[in-house]
Chain A
Amino acid sequence: MIITKSEFLLRTHLDRQTLEVWIEEEWLSPEQADPEPLFSEADLARAGLIRDLQGDLGVNKEGIGVILNLVDQIHSLRWALANRIGSQTEE
Chain B
Amino acid sequence: MKDPYETLGVAKTATAEEIRSAYRKLAKKLHPDLNPGDKSAEEKFKQAAGAYDLLSDEEKRRRFDAGEIDASGAERQHERYYKEYAQDPGGRRYQYQTAGSGFDDFASQDDFLAELLRRRQEQARRAPGADRSYELEIDFLDAVNGATRRVTLPDGGSLDVAIPAGIEEGQVLRLRGKGAPSRGEGPPGDALVAIAIRPHRFFTREGDDILLELPVTIQEAVLGGKVKVPTATGAVMAAVPKGSNTGTTLRLKGKGVPKRGGGAGDQLVKLKVMAPTEPDAALENFLSGWTPGPSYDPRRDMLS
Q: Judge whether B15 is part of the interface by a CB distance below 8 angstroms.
A: no
Q: Which of A31, A48, A72, A87 contacts B95 (CB 8 A)?
A: A72
Q: Contact between B33 and A84 (Cβ–Cβ < 8 Å)?
A: no
Question: Considering residues B79, B99, B132, which has the most beta carbons from chain A within 10 angstroms of its beta carbon?
Answer: B99
Q: Judge whether A21 is part of the interface by a CB distance below 8 angstroms.
A: no
Q: Given the known A-B contacts A43-B90, A71-B34, A71-B82, are A56 and B49 also in contact in the complex, defined by CB atoms under 8 Å?
A: yes
Q: Judge whether B19 is part of the interface by a CB distance below 8 angstroms.
A: no
Q: Judge whether A54 is part of the interface by a CB distance below 8 angstroms.
A: no
Task: Indicate the size class of the contact surface on chain B.
Answer: 35 or more
Q: Which residues of A are found within 8 Å of B86, using beta-carbon distances?
A: 42, 71-72, 75, 78
Question: Considering residues A34, A43, A46, A72, which has the most beta carbons from chain B within 10 angstroms of its beta carbon?
Answer: A72
Q: Judge whether B37 is part of the interface by a CB distance below 8 angstroms.
A: yes
Q: Given the known A-B contacts A44-B80, A57-B31, are A84 and B95 also in contact in the complex, defined by CB atoms under 8 Å?
A: no
- B81-98, CB under 8 A of A: which get 1 and which 0? 111111111111111011
Q: Given the known A-B contacts A75-B87, A76-B103, are A48 and B94 also in contact in the complex, defined by CB atoms under 8 Å?
A: no
Given A46-B94, A75-B86, output 6 extra A-B contacts at Cβ < 8 Å. A40-B85, A49-B81, A56-B24, A56-B49, A75-B91, A78-B37
Q: Which residues of A contact B (CB under 8 A)?
A: 2, 29, 31, 33-35, 38, 40-46, 48-49, 52, 56-58, 67-69, 71-80, 83-84, 87
Q: Which residues of B contact A (CB under 8 A)?
A: 20, 23-24, 27-28, 31, 33-34, 36-37, 49, 52, 78-95, 97-99, 102-103, 110, 112-113, 116-117, 120, 130-132, 153-155, 180, 183
